[in-house]
Amino acid sequence: MKIRLFVVFILAFIAMGSCENGNGSGKSIDSGMDPFIDELLDRMTLEEKIGQLNLVSVGFDVTGPRVSQQVEEKIANGQVGGVFNSYTTVAVRKLQELAVNESRLGIPLIFGFDVVHGHRTVFPVPLGLAATWDPEAIEETARIAALEASLEGLNWTFSPMVDIARDPRWGRICEGSGEDAWYGSLVARAMVRGYQGEDLSGPHTVMACVKHFALYGAAEAGRDYNNVDMSLRRMREVYLPPYRAAVEEGAGSVMTSFNDISGIPASANRWLLTDLLRKEWGFTGFVVTDYTTLEELIPFGVAADKKEAARLALEAGVDMDMVSEVLVSHTGELVEEGILKEERVDAACRRILEAKYRLGLFDDPFRYVKGKESGEIELSPGHREYARQMARKSMILLKNDHHTLPLDEQSSIALIGPLVYSRRDVQGNWRGGGRNRDAVTVEEGVRSMAGEKARILTAQGANITDDTLMLFKLNAHGGEIDYHDPATLLREALGVASRADVIVAVVGESQGMSGESASRSGIGIPGSQKTLLKALKKTGKPLVIVLMNGRPLTLEWEQAHADAILETWFAGTEAGNAIADVLFGAYNPSGKLTVTFPRNVGQIPLYYNHHNIGRPYAGDILDKFKSQYLDAPNDPLYPFGYGLSYTTFSMGDPVLGTTRLVEGDTLSVSVEVQNTGPVPGEEVVQLYVQDLVASVTRPVKELKGFKRILLDPGESETVTFTLRADDLRFYNRDMDFVTEPGDFKIFTGPDSRNVKEAIFTLVRE
């Protein structure tokens, strides 16, 4: 080991030894960090400081339009601060050795990857995880992901994605928690805690990166990378709270979004990155761009060239440049010409060095690469079992006429559909280090559960899509979709269906049909599969639809004609086993939607907490001059919070502890819930509030509480919520965050549509 590296280690050891608080979450600063970073910065040349701002991509995955070149040479020259898309101890060690042993100061690299819903153990996609309505369980999935990722050399994850999304045409809706800011904030906090733990320098932690800052989920027309335009009120009320929650929880880094905000791209937006994020919210971590967004300032039309893009980004508050290498190429010129002060480079470099310090990399650059020499870890049985639990907990029973589900174990079952055999699709997009060989298919899960009892017959039935343009695009972006003669597939499926008692059709999207750069103008089940479903319906056999998808779908035909519909999302490594658990009744489904399912795309955007308007539709079809469609209802197919069970529940009226809430006091809201059905089941009791008269228009209802309860048949439980005046705050006409005295309505129920009401008054004394 070279002398310069030894000096760095000694300085780090002294600094860490003097720390009174080793909290590396970002909530506080280590007392010994500043002297160490000061000394290191003093020794760095301008070029070395700029090198720390450079994040390159190399390795196992391609997550953008191009990959970095000559990476090893740049690392040895001190021109790289971090690497992403490389993992396993073997790959990471090789690159870290270059940085530590070949660069002048031996500053270690940070290693990032999109560990979005698991690493080797793949959990349901985040929209599915959110459907569990269990933030503690979601936190545990992040903890497991951090453990597995850290064992393969990773110390930084580009997660959580906390973008609120109200347009299901947007493919990346699957990566977030849905449409509600209050619930999304709970999930954001849970995931940051799961990744980072109590101390980033502790074992098996990774630094979180909150994305995409900001408003990315509001892309116009649901088209990825598109423009965003909204009022400051909507930003504050709906889109910004989850980012702020993650920052307050101590997230170590924030990633900029692809879109513009008030006409200024996020990566060049000083109001966003400095005034709001740092000055107002107190963020002390570092800001990294998304893939090549700095060079994209040129087609945006706000930068004439890459040099100007570098200036705009640094002046706005960007600290690290992902892949475009705009900063490493042009920042030196800007400083030398007096256009940019070196102090701004120092500030950006400092934040990245501080992150590495908190991760313990100056103490031991190789602390994340001391795992198996083979480089790959294997799944633990405990992690697989937790993935199975979370997968079945995420599933939502959308329809179940005539008790079609659970399936009769003694029956003959036709398992038909293009997703029956797939190992890749069940894992969804952003599967991290997930491997096809580890995933359980639907066929495998159903056969394993049925054993010798049921007779299982299978057929593909249809292609994922017969749209040749879509197939070309999917395969061009890493898809593995084969195409077969549709007539032959359908004929085989009908033959199988004729010999069965019940048909289970596994249909929906391939994993590449949702996620980044996967917007859809139509969000129904693809035509090839709809043809299959209609043919299966004509057999007269009971039809169960098992959906696999990463977004809400338009399902009017399916709701009208299927006997049962089960939403399974992309359920991860244990998808097949979890789906079988639910289909056969080994697990009673309890998931609830965190995003509205529209009837058709013409209703989009459609979300439960829309504001009051002057001419609301009151249900009278003869009243022409109301806010309504001529050709469709206003209400969704499935509302926010919706989900059925194999049992039934009754809920009483909400009972208030008082009808007069004084600021500073609390209000209790109680509701009695009873399992009125034949089997044990879980229900998610939900609490909503409406401000009836305010200085600005307010939502018709807002989620303010929920509780999961498990009840045996006939058992009752009284669920109690507590409300405070602070829960009723909002942005008034002056954009001050306040409470206003007045009347409020309470709603309780199993979802946002089927509710019972009570009224209380907020007063000041």
Residues with catalytic function: 290
Contacts of 178 (CB under 8 A, 6+ apart): 127, 130, 164, 165, 184, 593, 594, 595, 640
Instruction: Determine the number of helices (DSSP H) and then strands (DSSP E) in the chain.
Output: 22, 27
Rounded Cα distance between 362 and 23, Å, is 16
Rounded Cα distance between 36 and 319, Å, is 20
Contact present, 735 and 635 (Cβ < 8 Å): no
In this structure, is the dihedral angle defined by the CA atoms of residues 492, 498, 500 and 506, taken in order, positive or negative? positive
Sheet holding 321-322, edge to edge: 286-288, 253-256, 207-213, 156-157, 110-113, 82-84, 54-57, 321-322
Cα separation values, 440 from 448, 512, 629, Å: 10, 19, 44
Rounded Cα distance between 434 and 559, Å, is 33
Contact present, 671 and 651 (Cβ < 8 Å): yes
CB hemisphere CA count around 244 (13 angstroms): 15
Q: Which two tokens stand for residue 439?
A: 């995933």
C-alpha dihedral, 211 to 216 to 222 to 224, nearest 10°: -70
3-class SS at 438?
Answer: helix
In this structure, is the dihedral angle defined by the CA atoms of residues 148, 153, 156 and 158, taken in order, positive or negative? negative
- Best CA proximity match to 1, nearest among 358, 368, 366, 374: 366
The pairing of beta strand 756-763 with beta strand 660-662 = parallel
Q: What is the 3-state secondary structure (H, E, C) of 465-519?
A: CCCHHHHHHHHHCCCCCCCCCHHHHHHHHHHHHHCCCEEEEEEECCHHHCCCCCC
Q: Which two tokens stand for residue 722?
A: 């507590």
Backbone dihedral angles phi then psi of residue 680, each to the nearest 5 degrees = -60, 150
Rounded Cα distance between 171 and 175, Å, is 9
- Best CA proximity match to 726, nearest among 737, 712, 710, 714: 737
* Amino acid found at 193: R
Interhelix angle 381-394/575-583, rounded to 10 degrees, is 50
630 Rama class: left (phi>0) / alpha (psi -120 to 50) / beta:
alpha
